[in-house]
Amino acid sequence: MEIKISTRQVLRILYILSWILFIGLCVEAGSFFFNAFYTTVINPAAADYFGLTDLYAHDQGRFLVQLLLMSIAGVLKALLFFLIVKILMDKKLNVAQPFNKEMWHFLRNLSWLALGIGLFSSWGAAYRDWLLQEGVPMPDAERLHIDGASVWIFMGVTFIVIAQLFKRGIEIQSENELTI
């Protein structure tokens, strides 16, 4: 017996998964901000949540810079999935006419967000590496949620190329409409 899954079902599953990821990424980004506030104002021992106790003891300013870089990357990840949820929720995916301005804007925004995630993750990882060279014990980039910067940059460049293809498709589509 062959099970046939329709495009509508796949989009529904992706919509649900996107919501789950969006909520999880919002919680993650919020945890960076909350941890920065809670550690500096209420309880310095909370720096251990991300393994940054030694950094906090070394320099509170550098601790906040590291958390800021982590926070920016986290917020950009949440925004990326917000855009995905939004386009799926607004049902702007037009399979009959995929080359439209909404899709082009969507792909362009995804590309810039992915590049931003990659750049801030790279910056955060480089800052972490610099702190290690300064003799401050630091957790690995994965624990700080700033690993994989090159993958994000690659994805951003890929989305830029796809967005440009969509832009050209829109131009060709409008030229064809004018000639009819």
C-beta separation of 152 from 141 below 8 A: no
pLDDT of residue 175: 79
pLDDT of residue 6: 83
State mean pLDDT over 58-74.
96
- What's at 94, amino acid-wise? N
Q: Using the CB atoms, write b or e for 71-99: b if 16+ within 10 Å.
A: bbbbbbbbbbbebbbebbeeeeeeeeeeb
The residue ranges of DSSP E strands in the chain, in sequence order, are none
- Does residue 2 carry a pLDDT above 80? no
Residue 2: what are its φ and ψ, rounded to 5°? -95, 130
Where is average pLDDT lowest: 46-55, 88-97, 127-136? 88-97
Name the pLDDT band for 95 (thresholds 50, 70, 90): low
Q: Which residue has the higher pLDDT, 91 or 87?
A: 87
Token reading at 63: 């601790």
Report the alpha-carbon distance of residue 74 to residue 28 in Å, rounded: 7
How far out from the chain centre does Cα 85 lie? Answer: 13
- pLDDT tens sequence across 113-122: 999 999 999 9
pLDDT of residue 15: 92
Domain spans, the chain: 7-179
- pLDDT tens sequence across 97-112: 778 888 899 999 999 9
Where is average pLDDT lowest: 2-11, 15-24, 37-46, 98-107? 2-11
